[in-house]
Amino acid sequence: MGFPPLTAAEQEWLVGRIRSGDEQAEARIVDLFSRPVRMMVRVRAGRRLEEDDVVQEVFVAALTSLRRGQLRDADRLGAFVAGIARNVINKRLRNTRRAAVEPLAGNAGAAVADLREEIARRERRASVRRALDDLAPEDRRILVLTVIEGLRSSQIAQRLGLTEEAVRARKSRALKRLKARLDT
């Protein structure tokens, strides 16, 4: 489930209405983006975070920023909400990790195990970054538009000036290359 496809005009209208204090427009943003934000929380944090709290914090931050006019390109509303969600989730995860490590100070064995897990996670992230860097820029862009922005192949094709089949083929090949690189 990706972010809902809205035309540039729809996004600009919603952002403009929110800037002018329209509560119905704010409710519409929450309706449109709640499900994708919840999916982001589940995928990025699993059960380590309280989903409802994180989603609420994302929308408080997003609506506050929109009211203040902090979105430069109104037609990038989905990416804006996704970015705020990513930041809130990451902040919550950092705070959760800090809180979990503090009580372990007296238990050296558990602290070493946590350190090993953290090192393994960091190494995995670095491997993914290296694998992504090895992709052609356009293939990487297609994956970003798919995974981060939640666009469908037809929307990506239109945005990049490619055929829908070309987008699907490039995405498939890019994912296979990533998998092969990460399996080694």
Q: What is the pLDDT of residues 111-156, one digit of tens each?
A: 667 778 888 888 888 888 888 888 899 998 898 888 877 888 999 9
Whether 13 has a pLDDT exceeding 80, the answer reads yes
pTM of the model: 0.52
The per-residue DSSP string of 64-102 comes to HHHHTT--S-GGGHHHHHHHHHHHHHHHHHHHHHHHHHG
Q: Nearest Cα to 5, choosing from 146, 150, 148, 141?
A: 150
User: Which is it for the CA torsion 70, 73, 77, 78, positive or negative?
Assistant: negative
The pLDDT-based confidence of 180 (bands split at 50, 70, 90) is confident
Name residues whose C-beta falls within 8 Å of residue 181's C-beta, 6 or more positions apart in sequence.
127, 130, 131, 134
CA angle 149/154/155 to nearest 5° reads 40
d(CA 104, CA 106): 5
Domains, the chain, ranges and CATH? 1-106 (1.10.1740.10), 109-184 (1.10.10.10)
